[in-house]
């Protein structure tokens, strides 16, 4: 029963999800080729030094960035790039919005609600589907990067432990966003409302994190952004996810999922 | 098996409020086991809200709703294990084929789809069509599939909201026959419908709701008995005098030598009057459900005073 529900949830919007997955794979696959075409670590360092100081500030990258972080540091930039984030978050928010609010909107949730299934189980199926999606999207990027490295072979080393740490960090970010948007979905009756709230939250978070780097006045509010805890470069260089990031991102997702469960099991469904 | 009281569905002073709006205002119903029960009312009367509460989709603001003796909210899983609920045709997954939709519904029902073939045959839903995605189905085909989805697992109670919406008359007749068969086998049917003819042909018991309240309920016969019968008389010559003054009868229409009267229950005065005149033709017709239904609504409208209650 549970398997059938999870499968059904993942089947919905499968074509779109696969396209987004393909986008993530291609984006992370080509990065090692770009690094190689520029000349590996040395070439990347020279390129950054050539950038005007203003552009270095806007790109939030210092001349000694490659010297400090190596090829792994460069590749980590592909994971907090807006294109990557948009692809992954579209898949996650698309799933969470479809799986509850979207089903209320279309009326399809009535079929599941009318069967002898506890609401908790119906909700757990949504969480299980989300976890599958998170696992796939978090791991496909680093796998594509590894494949690109194996083929392009740019100068510089990137260890498996570094990519595993990146996978875990990406998983934690998507868990946090997925958990919070599932909470909104559990309380909503339309897909648009979930997409609106989740996208707004992400955009504000992203720009708070970005502008706080440039503008000291915003420095105190930086920890309020979810992206403050998504330090891809630090994670890749250290080969481990910072504890604070793990706790905040993991905790945010958990709070979202639990709050969503509380609402889902108690609310009225006008379908 | 019904509860100890012998009723499959029982509600008592069931209320549902949305802020200041009262969608249900003390609805009390008793649906006997093995009956086909019609739940009648115009749009917004509270039919769907009542069904949602019985299915555990929404929680009543106050009052009690039990199905097979179990509280519909607190023991929702137990209730739904014995109920077949008709989802609207639009609520089926358009990306699934008919076969996959039926398999998915059977899987999450946790019961074997033992009535599937019977339903497919009665509804004349071609098995070849089941290979196709639902998005390619016509409205009538989706409605047929929704009916199969709702009942294929042989539930003890069928709960239908407008079951024959979109079906052609032939299929409606087949479906009615199938419901009678199910009833004969002990299944209870609770259905709301706008089609009064269908309710009249099918249902043993009815309840009429308006603005969240039950304004009449009982067996079809008892409801009709309460309503005056229609008598059409054609006199051989002109309509004689005194036709307006017959006790227990009221003149509705006069057309040449023909008059139409409503007679409450006492025919004696009318028969005495007619016996003294030359009658060419006379027809007594029992009231149709539509007349009974409309009479309740008209009398309610006349009796109704301005109120804050609003139907939903």
**Over 90: is that where the pLDDT of B115 sits?**
yes
Scanning every residue of chain A, which has its alpha carbon at the shortest distance from the alpha carbon of B50?
A: A270
The neighbouring-strand residues paired with B15 are B62
Most A CBs within 10 Å, among B19, B53, B57, to test the A interface: B57
**Residue to test with chain A: of B58, B83, B87, most A Cβ within 10 A:** B87
- pLDDT tens, residue by residue, A220-255: 888 999 999 999 999 998 999 999 999 999 999 999
Strand, coil or helix: A107: coil
Q: What pLDDT was estimated at residue B58? A: 96
SS3 A190: coil
**Confidence label for B309 from pLDDT (cuts 50, 70 and 90):** very low
Q: For chain A, which residues make up each domain, given as ranges?
A: 2-264
pLDDT of residue A104: 95
- Spell out the domains of chain B, with CATH numbers in brackets: 7-219 (3.40.50.300), 228-286 (3.30.70)
User: Does residue B310 carry a pLDDT above 70?
Assistant: no
pLDDT at B300: 60
Residue A63: both structure tokens together: 């001349």
Please, are residues A177 and A131 in contact by the beta-carbon 8 Å criterion?
A: no
Q: What is the b/e burial string over B252-290, where b = at least 16 CB atoms within 10 angstroms of the residue's CB?
A: eeeeeeebbbbbeeeeeebeebbeeeeeeeeeeeebebe
Per-residue pLDDT of B57-80, as tens digits, reads 999 999 999 999 999 999 999 999
- Name the one residue in this structure whose structure tokens are 């100068």: A155
* pLDDT (tens digit per residue) in B162-191: 888 888 889 999 999 999 999 999 999 999
Q: Is the pLDDT of residue B264 over 60?
A: yes
**Does the pLDDT at position B311 exceed 60?**
no
Is A125:A9 a contact under the CB 8 Å cutoff? yes
- The pLDDT of B41-68, averaged and rounded, is 93
More confident residue, B267 or A170: A170
Asked if the model's pLDDT at residue B308 lies above 50, the reply is no
pLDDT value, residue A219: 83
Burial class (CB in 10 A: 0-12, 13-18, 19+), B305: exposed
Residue A117: its chain B contacts at CB < 8 A?
77, 80, 108
> Across the interface, do A107 and B88 touch by the CB < 8 Å criterion?
yes
| pLDDT confidence of residue B220 | 78
Q: Bridge-partner residues for B281, per DSSP?
A: B234
Quick check: A36 and A152 in contact, CB under 8 A?
yes
Q: Is A179 exposed, middle or buried, given 0-12, 13-18 or 19+ CB atoms closer than 10 A?
A: buried
Q: What is the mean pLDDT of residues A102-118?
A: 94
Q: What is the mean pLDDT of residues B285-307?
A: 65
pLDDT tens per residue across span A10-51:
998 899 999 999 999 999 999 999 988 888 888 888 888 888
Average pLDDT of chain A to the nearest whole number: 92
Whose structure tokens read 């793990």? Answer: A246
Q: Do A107 and B91 touch (CB under 8 A)?
A: yes
Residues on B contacting A at a C-beta cutoff of 8 Å: 52, 55-59, 77-78, 80-81, 83, 85, 87-88, 90-93, 95, 104-105, 107-110, 149
Burial degree of A23 (CB within 10 A; 0-12, 13-18, 19+):
middle
Tell me the C-alpha distance between A102 and B296, whole Å: 40
Size (chain B), residues:
312
pLDDT at B306 over 50: no
Nearest chain B Cα distance for residue A183, angstroms: 19
Cite the beta strand spans of chain A per DSSP E: none
pLDDT of the residue at B307: 41
Over chain B, what is the mean pLDDT? Answer: 87
- The angle that helices A2-11 and B98-109 make with each other, rounded to 10 degrees, is 150
- Where residue A39 falls (left for φ over 0; alpha for ψ -120 to 50; beta otherwise) is left
Checking phi first, is residue A66 left (phi over 0); if not, alpha (psi -120 to 50) or beta?
A: alpha
Nearest CA-CA distance, residue A4 and chain B, Å? 7
Tally Cβ neighbours within 10 Å of residue B129. 17
Question: Is the Cβ–Cβ distance between A171 and A178 less than 8 Å?
Answer: no
Q: Which chain A residues contact residue B146 at CB under 8 A?
A: none
In terms of DSSP bridges, do strands B205-210 and B62-67 run parallel, antiparallel, or are they unpaired? unpaired
Alpha-carbon distance A156 to A66, whole Å? 10
Lowest mean pLDDT among A125-134, B39-48, B111-120, B282-291: B282-291
pLDDT for the residue numbered B32: 93
CB-closest option in A4, A112, A268 to B58: A268
Question: Which residue of chain A has the CA closest to B57?
Answer: A269
In the prediction, which pLDDT does B222 show? 77
Residue B205 has pLDDT above 50, yes or no: yes
Is residue B305 pLDDT above 60, yes or no?
A: no
The pLDDT tens digits of the residues spanning A192-217 come to 999 999 999 999 999 898 888 778 88
Please tell me which residue, B263 or A187, carries the higher pLDDT value: A187
Which pLDDT does position B304 carry in this prediction?
A: 53
The pLDDT assigned to B88 comes to: 81
HEC secondary structure over chain B: CCCCCCEEEEEEEEEEEECCEEEEEEEEEEEECCCEEEEECCCCCCHHHHHHHHHCCCCCCEEEEEECCEECCCCHHHHHCCEEECCCHHHCCCCCEHHHHHHHHHHHHCCCCCCHHHHHHHCCCCHHHHHCEHHHCCHHHHHHHHHHHHHCCCCCEEEEECCCCCCCHHHHHHHHHHHHHHHHCCCEEEEECCCHHHHHHHCCEEEEEECCEEEEEEEHHHHHHCCCEEEEEEECCCCCCCHHHCCCEEEEEEECCEEEEEECCCCHHHHHHHHCCCEEEEEEECCCHHHHHHHHHHHHHHHCCCCCCCCC
Cβ <8 Å between B85 and A110: yes
The set of residues, in sequence order, having a beta carbon less than 8 Å from that of B271 and lying 6+ positions away, is: none
Q: Does the pLDDT value for residue B12 go beyond 60?
A: yes
What does the alpha-carbon distance between residue B15 and residue B24 come to, in Å, rounded to a whole number? 5
- Write down the pLDDT at residue B1: 58
Whose structure tokens read 């250290």?
A238
- Mean pLDDT over residues A178-201, rounded? 96
Q: What percent of chain B has pLDDT over 90?
A: 51
């Amino acid at each position: 029963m549970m398997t059938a529900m999870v499968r059904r949830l993942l089947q919905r919007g499968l074509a779109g999800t696969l396209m987004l997955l393909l986008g993530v794979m291609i984006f992370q696959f080509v990065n090692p080729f770009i690094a190689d075409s520029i000349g590996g670590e040395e070439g990347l360092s020279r390129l950054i030094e050539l950038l005007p100081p203003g552009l270095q500030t806007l790109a939030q990258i210092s001349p000694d960035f490659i010297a400090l972080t190596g090829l792994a540091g460069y590749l980590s930039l592909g994971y907090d790039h807006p294109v990557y984030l948009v692809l992954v978050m579209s898949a996650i928010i698309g799933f969470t919005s479809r799986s509850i609010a979207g089903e209320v909107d279309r009326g399809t949730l009535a079929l599941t609600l009318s069967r002898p299934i506890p609401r908790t189980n119906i909700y757990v199926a949504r969480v299980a589907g989300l976890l599958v999606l998170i696992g796939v999207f978090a791991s496909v990027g680093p796998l594509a990067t590894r494949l690109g490295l194996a083929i392009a072979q740019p100068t510089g080393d990137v260890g498996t432990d570094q990519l595993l740490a990146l996978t875990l960090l990406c998983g934690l970010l998507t868990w946090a966003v997925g958990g919070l948007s599932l909470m909104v979905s559990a309380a909503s009756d339309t897909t648009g409302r979930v997409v609106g709230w989740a996208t707004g939250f992400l955009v504000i978070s992203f720009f708070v994190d970005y502008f706080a780097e440039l503008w000291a006045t915003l420095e105190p509010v930086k920890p309020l952004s979810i992206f403050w805890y998504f330090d891809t470069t630090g994670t890749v260089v250290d080969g481990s996810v910072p504890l604070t990031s793990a706790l905040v991102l993991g905790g945010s997702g958990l709070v979202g999922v639990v709050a969503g469960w509380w609402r889902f099991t108690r609310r009225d469904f006008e379908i | 098996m019904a509860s100890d009281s012998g009723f499959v569905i029982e509600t008592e002073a069931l209320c549902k409020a949305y802020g200041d709006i009262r969608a249900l205002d003390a609805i009390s119903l008793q649906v006997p086991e093995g009956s086909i029960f019609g739940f009648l009312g115009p749009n917004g009367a509270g039919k769907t809200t009542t069904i949602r509460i019985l299915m555990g989709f929404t929680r009543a603001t106050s009052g009690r709703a039990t199905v097979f003796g179990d509280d519909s909210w607190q023991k929702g899983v137990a209730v739904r294990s014995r109920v077949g609920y008709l989802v609207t045709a639009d609520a089926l997954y358009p990306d699934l084929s008919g076969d996959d939709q039926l398999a998915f519904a059977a899987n999450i029902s946790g019961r074997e789809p033992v009535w599937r073939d019977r339903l497919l045959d009665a509804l004349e839903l071609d098995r070849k069509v089941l290979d196709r995605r639902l998005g390619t189905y016509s409205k009538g085909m989706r409605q047929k599939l929704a009916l199969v989805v709702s009942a294929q697992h042989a539930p003890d109670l069928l709960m239908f909201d407008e079951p024959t919406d979109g079906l052609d008359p032939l299929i409606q007749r087949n479906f009615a026959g199938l419901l009678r068969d199910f009833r004969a086998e002990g299944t209870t049917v609770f259905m709301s419908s706008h089609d009064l003819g269908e309710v009249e042909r099918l249902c043993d018991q009815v309840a009429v709701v308006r603005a969240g309240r039950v304004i009449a309920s009982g067996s079809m016969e008892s409801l009709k008995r309460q309503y005056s019968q229609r008598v059409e008389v054609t006199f051989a010559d002109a309509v004689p005098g005194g036709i307006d003054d017959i006790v227990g009868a009221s003149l509705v229409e006069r057309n040449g030598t023909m008059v139409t009267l409503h007679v409450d229950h006492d025919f004696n005065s009318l028969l005495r009057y007619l016996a003294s005149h030359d009658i060419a033709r006379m027809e007594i017709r029992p009231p149709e459900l539509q007349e009974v239904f409309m009479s309740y609504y008209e009398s309610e409208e006349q009796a109704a005073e301005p109120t804050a209650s609003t139907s939903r």
